[in-house]
Amino acid sequence: MVDSRPKVARLISVAVFAAVFAACLVIGQRMMNADGDLGRHLVVGEYILRQQQIPLVDYFSHSLAGAPFTPHEWLAEVLFALAFRVKGFAGVVWLAAFILAAAYSLFSRVLLQLSQKFWLVIGMTVAAMGAGSLHFLTRPHIFSYLLFVILLVLLRIDKRPVIVRGLMIAVFIVWANTHGGFLYGLLYLGGRFVPAFITGVRRGKNSAWKFELIDLGLAVSGTLVNPAGWKVYQTAFGFLSSSYLVQHTQEYLPIGLDSLYGWLFLSLNVIVLLVFAMKTRQAQLLDYLQAITWSGMGWLSARHIPIAVMVLLSTIAGLLSRNDPAAMIERDSLENQQDRKVRQPAAIYITDKILIVLAIIAGYFYTIRANYSFDPAAFPVQAAQAIREKLPAGNMFNEFTWGGYLLFELRPEQKVFIDGQTDFYGEGVAKDYVTIRQAEDGWQMLMEKYAVDWVILPPEAPLVGILQGDSKNWRTVYQDEVAVVLNRIKAP
């Protein structure tokens, strides 16, 4: 008799893929416009494709022109630029949708291996997708979701052979060149090493913790294979060590209970506590450490929540099935069918592939009709169109969230003052930006320091009112409800 459970498991992962893929295509316009970084990523990616080199100094701003630059997202930017070449913004949204769909589909398979309680797995997967949706954006961090889940899959292979260890190195090589989120992977591996080391010392056995240490060492070695080498760590920790930059970057702020996501994460924390209370005897030191670490990460910053939720859900999925005879029998049936010579029809193994292909094809036809574009209500689209043919001369001072967009629209003729790459600009330029924009003490000296000749800001920016009141030195070139463009009047 044919066991139907593998077929159900495969169909669940296909359903997850199709749901996430379709949802991302539908909300693609929001994914593009939720922040201003996409424009910069496309410009950097296109620069790499055209110049056939990865930039190690800044070519995109005038405030730090020529300064050393760590291209830790270059591979993701190239992929976005290639997608844009193929299908414009629809290609970018399609790529992001595919990456996210693959991540959560694969995560559902991880949960299914941990616990064969299908309805529980469906609920957990939906919870993971809901938590991650806050950060469903067309930005490199989405690659971290997929690579983290791939890491979970590799770590579930016992007595990892050489090929698996090679794949682990490859994962971290790709990760260190697509997004700084590779630190999540290192933290997770470190969280496995610590309890293994403690337990090994207690029992006088070194094999377990040495096994975990090898994994961690391989991962670290993989991250060093990037254009900047060890400096990729300097960039990541340099940003995180600046309380000013962290506190002024919205996605790094803690999530509060004034939002739905805050209450959802709190609910998950309560569920985790209840599961640990139910499974006290089965819980191991690793479970406690991962739960405490990643709950803390989630409360520390909203940016960490999607990965933290994956860790917490996989932890409780394993706990709920531990020492559960029914779950163990079902898992054994699913994972060891070949050893037990349980044959499945070939259709089971190709149906999921066919359904995924159909979902991708349907998504392609949807993107043909979708009109993805930069939102004129969020970015100075009309202002850029008005001044593009006759750009103001000299250096611009721009709104922070518009930097990526303006770089995309006005380059190569214009470089920006600042954009969303805050780990590059650092605390100094960020503070100077705020001083100038808010017309605080010393703003005139800073305008001279950066040789600012024209300004593009929202009408409500304090600097706009000051400059519009100085008609002898500044004139308004363009104004609408979104943006004001002012040009310095130079003496004849």
376-424 per-position pLDDT tens digit: 999 999 999 999 888 888 999 999 999 999 999 998 889 999 998 888 8
**Averaged pLDDT for residues 459-469:** 96
What's the rounded Cα separation, in Å, for the pair 1 and 111? 26
pLDDT for residue 345: 52
What's the rounded Cα separation, in Å, for the pair 408 and 38? 9
- Average per-residue pLDDT for the chain: 88
Two tokens, residue 9: 């498991």
Residue 346 clears pLDDT 90, i.e. is over it: no
**Averaged pLDDT for residues 457-466:** 96
Question: What confidence tens digit (pLDDT) does each residue in 314-343 have?
Answer: 999 999 887 654 444 444 444 444 344 444
pLDDT for residue 342: 44
**Averaged pLDDT for residues 19-25:** 92
Q: Which of 158, 172, 170, 162 is CA-nearest to residue 113?
A: 158
Largest CA distance in the chain: 92
What's the rounded Cα separation, in Å, for the pair 330 and 259? 39
Higher per-residue pLDDT: 160 or 433:
433
**Averaged pLDDT for residues 162-172:** 92
Please tell me the pTM assigned to this model: 0.91
Higher per-residue pLDDT: 235 or 378:
378
Strand partners, 416: 61
For the chain, what is the HEC assignment?
CCCCHHHHHHHHHHHHHHHHHHHHHHCHHHHHHCCCCHHHHHHHHHHHHHHCCCCCECCCECCCCCCECCCCCHHHHHHHHHHHHHHHHHHHHHHHHHHHHHHHHHHHHHHHHHCCCHHHHHHHHHHHHHHHHHHCCCCCHHHHHHHHHHHHHHHCCCCCCHHHHHHHHHHHHHHHCCCCCHHHHHHHHHHHHHHHHHHHHHHCCCHHHHHHHHHHHHHHHHHCCCCCCCHHHHHHHHHHCCHHHHHCCHHHCCCCCCCHHHHHHHHHHHHHHHHHHHCCCCCCHHHHHHHHHHHHHHHHCHHHHHHHHHHHHHHHHHHHHCCCHHHHHHHHHHHCCCCCCCCCCHHHHHHHHHHHHHHHHHHHHHHHHCCCCCCCCCCCHHHHHHHHCCCCCCEEEECHHHHHHHHHHHCCCCCECCCCCHHHHHHHHHHHHHHHHCCCCCHHHHHHHCCEEEEEECCCCHHHHHHHCCCCCEEEEEECCCCEEEEECCCC
Strand partners, 454: 396, 487
CB-CB contact of 72 with 177 (8 Å): yes
**Averaged pLDDT for residues 38-51:** 96
Q: Which of 49, 43, 27 is CA-nearest to residue 96?
A: 27
What's the rounded Cα separation, in Å, for the pair 467 and 399? 15
pLDDT band at 359 (very low <50, low <70, confident <90, very high): confident
* % of the chain surpassing 90 pLDDT: 65
pLDDT band at 252 (very low <50, low <70, confident <90, very high): confident
Residue 492 clears pLDDT 70, i.e. is over it: no
Two tokens, residue 153: 């899959």
Question: What confidence tens digit (pLDDT) does each residue in 77-95 have?
Answer: 999 999 999 999 999 999 9
pLDDT for residue 2: 42
**Averaged pLDDT for residues 351-376:** 80
pLDDT for residue 250: 72
Question: What confidence tens digit (pLDDT) does each residue in 120-165 have?
Answer: 889 999 999 999 998 999 999 999 999 999 999 999 887 678 888 8
pLDDT band at 357 (very low <50, low <70, confident <90, very high): confident
pLDDT for residue 253: 81
* Domain ranges across the chain: 5-365, 381-488
pLDDT for residue 340: 42
Q: Give long-range contacts, CB 8 A cutoff, 24+ apart: 332-339.
A: 333/3, 333/5, 334/5, 334/6, 334/9, 334/112, 334/113, 334/116, 335/113, 337/3, 337/6
Q: Which of 89, 139, 105, 135 is CA-nearest to residue 367?
A: 89
**Averaged pLDDT for residues 37-59:** 96
pLDDT for residue 5: 58
Question: What confidence tens digit (pLDDT) does each residue in 436-459 have?
Answer: 999 999 999 999 999 999 999 999
Strand partners, 455: 397, 486
Lowest-confidence region among 267-281, 298-312, 358-372:
358-372
Lowest-confidence region among 48-57, 149-158, 430-439:
149-158
Nearest-10 crossing angle of helices 118-132, 5-26: 20
Question: What confidence tens digit (pLDDT) does each residue in 260-297 have?
Answer: 889 999 999 999 999 999 999 889 999 999 999 999 99
pLDDT for residue 113: 87
**Averaged pLDDT for residues 56-70:** 94
What's the rounded Cα separation, in Å, for the pair 124 and 118? 10
What's the rounded Cα separation, in Å, for the pair 46 and 104? 29
